[in-house]
Amino acid sequence: MGTSTELPLFPLGTVLFPGGPLPLRIFETRYVDMVRRSLREQRGFGVLWIRSGREAGEVAQTASVGTSARIVDFYQLPDGLLGLTCLGERKFRLLRRWQASDGLNLGEVEWLAPEPSVPVPESLQHLALLLRAVLPQLGNLYEAVPRHFGDASWVSARIAEILPIELAEKQACLELDDGVQRLARLAPLILRE
């Protein structure tokens, strides 16, 4: 376990994994301000999956484990809104959450230890090969994501991101701290050719 720190929180209807891409459309003033601060202070924000509630307004319940996100690019979208390209960085556990006067969610978070880099076992190599074939077909979403096809944590996180599985299952995969265990959990969901 790591140290705790205060982090702006962005509850979303998605699960972000370390090393994963996160495109965002920003329209609420509190999040525009958060982005400004993040860019100015060169610090990220925490992404937590919303278990119940909506992304806009009050959030009823979030997961307790999330991932910090770093902004890697920003641009104006055709509809005039702010677009962001973010990358997942570190997992954390939410210890306490509160709301600032401007409506921004803040939290005290404890950084979780990074997953060890271990090779993809021979019995699960077909998943790494499948991922290598699929990523180029996903357009530019994964263009800026560094690739580590030999690392079980990286491969299992990318597979969990792109598989059409329930968000609760994605969250359960995020909460695992072992890439091989995550791969073994996901393997039965993928038909072998």
Q: Would residue 117 count as lying in a domain? A: no
Model's pTM, two decimal places? 0.92
- Per-residue pLDDT reduced to its tens digit, 42-54: 899 999 999 987 6
Last residue of a domain, one of 90, 111, 132: 111
What does the pLDDT average to over 120-146? 93
Close Cβ partners of 69 (under 8 Å, ≥ 6 residues apart): 10, 16, 22, 44, 45, 46, 47, 86, 87, 88, 89
Q: How far is CA 23 from CA 32, 73, 183, in A?
A: 15, 10, 25
Q: What is the CATH number of the domain that holds 97?
A: 2.30.130.40
Q: Would residue 193 count as lying in a domain? A: no
pLDDT top residue among 154 and 28: 154
CB atoms within 10 A of CB 184: 17
- Per-residue pLDDT reduced to its tens digit, 152-174: 999 999 999 999 999 999 999 99
Rounded to 5°, the CA angle 85-102-76 comes to 30
Residues of the chain with pLDDT > 70, as a percent, come to 94
Last residue of a domain, one of 76, 111, 146: 111
